[in-house]
Amino acid sequence: MLTIVLVINLLLAILCLGVAWQVWRLKQSLGQVADTLIEVEQTAHPILYGAPQTITESYQRVEEVCDRIRQIEPQLRRARQAIRLIAWQRRRFR
């Protein structure tokens, strides 16, 4: 009976040692991943820090350009009509 208890105890100890080893390896891997993520964040932060402001300013400039295009469209339409009229007259009177 004592032998059975000792064998079971030994098997449980080996099993727990294996689990502890796996947990330790997982801890090492997670530590490396965390270090890599910190390094990536520290590298990306200066690059991306000004992005929201830049995006907002770019959006405002695009809106200004769109407004200007809307203002110019009637003039452009009239200029195209005038060019077509001149071209039509040149063809007609040749």
State the pLDDT at residue 92. Answer: 82
Q: Residue 3 belongs to what domain range?
A: 1-49
The Cα-based distances of 89 to 76, 81, 86 in angstroms read: 20, 12, 5
Structural domains counted in the chain: 2
DSSP-derived secondary structure letter, 80: H
Task: Specify whether 71 is located in the same domain as 87.
Answer: yes
- The whole-model pTM stands at 0.52
Task: Specify whether 41 is located in the same domain as 67.
Answer: no
* Rounded distance between C-alpha atoms, residue 69 and residue 9, angstroms: 83
- Work out the mean pLDDT of the chain and round it to a whole number: 94
Task: Specify whether 73 is located in the same domain as 92.
Answer: yes
State the pLDDT at residue 65. Answer: 97
State the pLDDT at residue 53. Answer: 94
DSSP-derived secondary structure letter, 13: H
18-53, pLDDT tens digit by residue? 999 999 999 999 999 999 999 999 999 999 999 999
Task: Specify whether 1 is located in the same domain as 40.
Answer: yes
